[in-house]
Structure 1
């Protein structure tokens, strides 16, 4: 009698990614993954001790893909912006995992590569070393939060998105001008959450980097 097939870690992650494309991280389970692979879920626990560990590994693989071929170019702000956009694009291809990364982080090779580049870029900015850890923390919270939020929009079906747009129109255009005077005034110009996400991402990130830049001590004149 032939033995049960043994799945590699990469094959399990491939199957998990495919399963998530048709569902979401909340409804995802190791049992469902085992059924998709035609095996008992207990065999998958030899590779991953829990659902959370598996999802973290999947998020880290996305970070590895974002870092592939990356070469730091430009000044420190350009480096951070380029890295953030690469990570955003990578999670945009698997938005179901974006919220997982925002919630649990990862901790593998991909995470270390991204952390190293962000810390190197901040060090190149001229910030004192003692300020870099806190600046790094705030920057990663911002990037992860924006990507996780965008991932939530990215997992909506076309029908769900259209329903959301209709609710937004009713909420904005139907606002009572006496009770909501500002909303009524700007109703035709305000945009729904899912509109123009890349521009919003870049503007928010640029504003935060400008805030960091303002805190960099001025360079002392040579010879002083």
Structure 2
């Protein structure tokens, strides 16, 4: 009788990433992944101790692949901006994993590569060493939050997106000027969160980097 196939760690991560393309982190389970692979959960727990550890590893592979393609250029602000946009693009192709990364982060190779680049860029900025860890932390939180936010928008269907835009227009343009006078004043100029997100991403990051620059 032939035993069940032994899956490698990379094969398990590939299958998990594919499963996450059609489901979110909350509905994902080791049992579902085991069923896809035609094995039992216990065999997967030999590679990963928990669902969270598995999700972290899957997200980190996306980050590691993005870092492999990244080539630092320009000054410290340009490098951090380019890195952020590069990682955003990588996770944008698999938004469910962007949400996973934003929620769980990781301590894998991809995470360390990104950490090394941001810390190195900050060190070349002239910022005193004692201030670098705190500024690194703020930059990382901002980037992760923006990327995870993008993921939330990109996972909805076109129909859901249009429905949301219509609800936004009704809520804003139909706001009672007596109860919401400021909303009513700006109503025709306000836009839904899903509009022009790339520009907002770059502007928010640029503002944080400019703030750092003023402290140097």
Tell me which residue corresponds to 1:116.
116
1:168-219 CA-to-partner distances (Å, cap 9, x unmatched) read: 1111111111111221122122111111111100000001100000000xxx
What aligned pairs does 1:91-130 form with structure 2 within 5 A after superposition? 91-130=91-130
Tell me which residue corresponds to 1:89.
89
Between stretches 29-38 and 207-216, larger displacement belongs to 29-38
Tell me which residue corresponds to 1:37.
37
- Counterpart CA distance in 2 for 1:77 and 1:65 is 22
Instruction: Tell me how many residue pairs correspond in the alignment.
Output: 216
TM-score, normalised to structure 1's length? 0.93
**What are the ranges of 5 or more consecutive residues in structure 1 without an aligned counterpart?**
217-224
- CA-CA distance at 1:134 after TM superposition: 0.5
Tell me which residue corresponds to 2:8.
8
1:98-153 CA-to-partner distances (Å, cap 9, x unmatched) read: 12212211101000000000000000000000100101111101111111111111
Q: Does 1:185 align with 2:168?
A: no
- Counterpart CA distance in 1 for 2:101 and 2:8 is 23
Q: Does 1:78 align with 2:74?
A: no
- Counterpart CA distance in 1 for 2:52 and 2:113 is 21
- Counterpart CA distance in 2 for 1:36 and 1:151 is 25
Between stretches 160-169 and 134-143, larger displacement belongs to 160-169
- CA-CA distance at 1:80 after TM superposition: 0.3
1:63-107 CA-to-partner distances (Å, cap 9, x unmatched) read: 111111322111000000000111111111111111221221110
Tell me which residue corresponds to 2:165.
165
Between stretches 43-52 and 159-168, larger displacement belongs to 159-168
Question: What is the DSSP-based 3-state SS (H/G/I as helix, E as strand, rest coil) of the residue aligned with 1:188?
Answer: helix
Tell me which residue corresponds to 1:222.
none
**What are the ranges of 5 or more consecutive residues in structure 2 without an aligned counterpart?**
none
Tell me which residue corresponds to 2:50.
50
- Counterpart CA distance in 2 for 1:193 and 1:30 is 34
- Report the structure, 1 or 2, having the larger helix content: 2
- CA RMSD in angstroms comes to 1.0
